[in-house]
Structure 1
Amino acid sequence: MPSSVPSPSLCIPIELLTQASFSQFGTVIQNPTHSTAPPFQRLPPPDCIPANQNTALKYIDVTHMSNLYHLAPSSKPAKAVMNLFVCSPRDLRPHEPSESLPSSWGDIDLDDEEDGSERQLFDVRILERHPFTTQTFIPMGLGLSDRSTQYLVIVAPTLPASASRRNTGRPPPFPTPKPRKQSAVRDIFARARPSPFTNEAAPPPSTYSQLHPSQRPKGPGLPDLKNIRAFVAGGDQAVTYGAGTWHAPMCVVGNNSIDFVVVQFANGVGIEDCQEVKLLPEPGANEGITVAVDMDSSRRVLVKAGPGLIKAKL
């Protein structure tokens, strides 16, 4: 993996964290009755059944855990681990309007509204991924109504491997399907519907097609820095990063620390458990990638982008 990659000068607005907006990166764990997503962004809630002698509701399969270490170069098996991260609030720097950066949302002017909020900036300097495992962050001790402390979820899509080779010379270790061998005539007929050699009406689905989209390997590419997105989450939300999803280290904003229980798989091989890239401003640029953190007088982070807001502005 390269130790650093050049990054464009971009300012990232903050979106509301919902399952609909986050689906390509992972899953959001939240009581559906607490969702503040606009109606058109709400997905059907998970299956629900009574539990605890009818004193509780059990929502089934609220996130998707993946252990893809059988695809790792070392073939060393992994085990499930749970760690505790005590994350302090990040230092933000003041925003100078005269130094406004292009928005990652194109022509949208992030400074076009006077709502009395205070803007600060968070510099995104590192992205990481866990290529063979999902990673779930579960906040503790942060109430549903506490908006003076929140956390940011900063993620990026993955570039095609060909684009990454221009920076590395080779794709880094990553779970990718093995090349398909030339099929024999018998194999071709075996996949026919119905199969002439078995009683099956159709061939079994591939391992990858059975996975939830957030669980599927993202490929060996570097992060797509021009399409980084930032979401704000509260105490009623946990988040699962899909295996291989590029994301920033946890970023707490506000007044207090947050304790996170983090659930993942690990095999103890450094580059297979975690891969990092440092983001450096492109040559001649003074700025790199920053997230615009707008707060009201109570230190609550304000949402400045997303399908609902964009539709309202149009």
Structure 2
Amino acid sequence: MPTSMPCPSIRIPIELLTQSSFSQFGTVIENPAHSTLPPSQRLPIPDAVSANQGSATKYLDVTHMSNLYNLAPSKKPAKAVMNMFVCAPRDLRPHEPSESMPSSWGDFDFDDEDADDSSNRQLFDIQILERHPFTTQTFIPLGLSQSDNHTQYLVIVAPTLPASASRLRTDRPPPYPTPAIKKSKSLRDIFARARPSPFTNEAAPPPSQFTKLHPSQRPKGPGLPDLKNLRAFVATGNQAVTYGAGTWHAPMAVIGDRPIDFVVVQFANAVGIEDCQEISLKADRNADEGVVVMVDSDASGKVLVKAGIGAVRAKL
């Protein structure tokens, strides 16, 4: 039974999954040529080389993979693993009017909009979040077309609270403490901190190994998920996604008519609490429903974007 934490009533609008909007949580993997964003909003194209006797273009380093198991309490080494998740469509409940939607986007009020008669609005209750504290996790959908409007998937993520804030919100220490990163103190480090070395141009010790990593790859600490800044993205069939190590996320949520097969790549050491940690979300006594994602769709079943880039009608 996972540890639980109380949560307020929050309704989250859906955003379009892009690398710029998702960068603090991980990486979006897609063919740059298929991007639906206008050129001004696209990130630089990854380095590419010609491959397969000129019949292919090879994009280099399209995602960031991290193995941080050297920080795990057990010190048990991990290995790269590849699994398949067959994810069935999630059950949604009918829309119930709400006065506002407190979220990272502020307070929205979508219920007074002139709703299109062909649109449909349903609710997805987030009951659990999980994280993999020492590894990235990449989900690669199989057999899902970019133009498939009847089946899509949601990527739901949350930042990590500082450990002190986690204690304040639950009156207990974080449930899954991770060890502090110990910095070695060599003679060189000690003297470098005291004053510039007369033998080199370095005035300080070399930076931590983690400063060289992409922000989504760095250790997140033991804190609980920051529910007030939870985000929900809708992915198309030509997008794969990598969760950064330690990123709180909901289990994969498929929306539509049929299951989606995902190939999942990560590291693991078979120590359960080090491979995966879970938090069950329980609505506060004064909360009506807890954390909810609003899923709006058109007549074809395509999920509509309500916030951020590509929003249909978002009131800021």
The TM-score, its normalising length taken from structure 1, stands at 0.91
1:284 correspondence with 2:283 = no
1:128 correspondence with 2:127 = no
1:169 correspondence with 2:168 = no
Partners of 1:129 and 1:245 within 8 A in 2: yes
Distance 2:194 2:211 in 1: 18
1:256 correspondence with 2:258 = yes
1:91 correspondence with 2:91 = yes
Question: Between the two proteins, what is the percent identity of the paired residues?
Answer: 73
Q: What's the secondary structure of 2:305's corresponding residue?
A: coil
Aligned residue identity for 2:239: Q
**Paired position in structure 2 for 1:51:** 51
Cα deviation for residue 45 of structure 1 reads 1.2
The superposition leaves residues 225-283 of structure 1 with CA deviations (integer Å, 9 ceiling, x where unpaired) of 11110000011000000000000000000111100000000001111000000001011
Partners of 1:103 and 1:110 within 8 A in 2: no
Question: Which range is displaced more, 148-157 or 103-112?
Answer: 103-112
Cα deviation for residue 205 of structure 1 reads 3.1
Aligned residue identity for 2:167: R
Partners of 1:110 and 1:304 within 8 A in 2: no
Aligned residue identity for 2:73: P
Cα deviation for residue 212 of structure 1 reads 1.0
**Paired position in structure 2 for 1:233:** 235
Distance 1:39 1:235 in 2: 21
Distance 1:308 1:235 in 2: 17
Cα deviation for residue 147 of structure 1 reads 1.9
Question: Which range is displaced more, 286-295 or 111-120?
Answer: 111-120
**Paired position in structure 2 for 1:211:** 213
Q: What's the secondary structure of 2:251's corresponding residue?
A: coil
Distance 2:70 2:189 in 1: 25
Partners of 2:306 and 2:312 within 8 A in 1: no
Cα deviation for residue 299 of structure 1 reads 0.5
Distance 1:61 1:307 in 2: 25
Aligned residue identity for 1:14: I
Partners of 1:195 and 1:203 within 8 A in 2: no
- Unaligned segments of structure 1, at least 5 residues: none
Partners of 2:27 and 2:64 within 8 A in 1: yes
Distance 1:193 1:47 in 2: 40
Q: What's the secondary structure of 1:301's corresponding residue?
A: coil
Residues 224 and 310 (structure 1), Cα distance of their counterparts in 2 relative to 1, 3 Å cut: farther
**Paired position in structure 1 for 2:115:** 114
Q: What's the secondary structure of 2:146's corresponding residue?
A: coil
The TM-score, its normalising length taken from structure 2, stands at 0.90
Aligned residue identity for 2:156: I
Q: What's the secondary structure of 2:221's corresponding residue?
A: coil
Distance 1:177 1:249 in 2: 28
Partners of 2:158 and 2:225 within 8 A in 1: yes
Q: Over the residues paired in the alignment, what is the CA RMSD in angstroms? A: 2.5
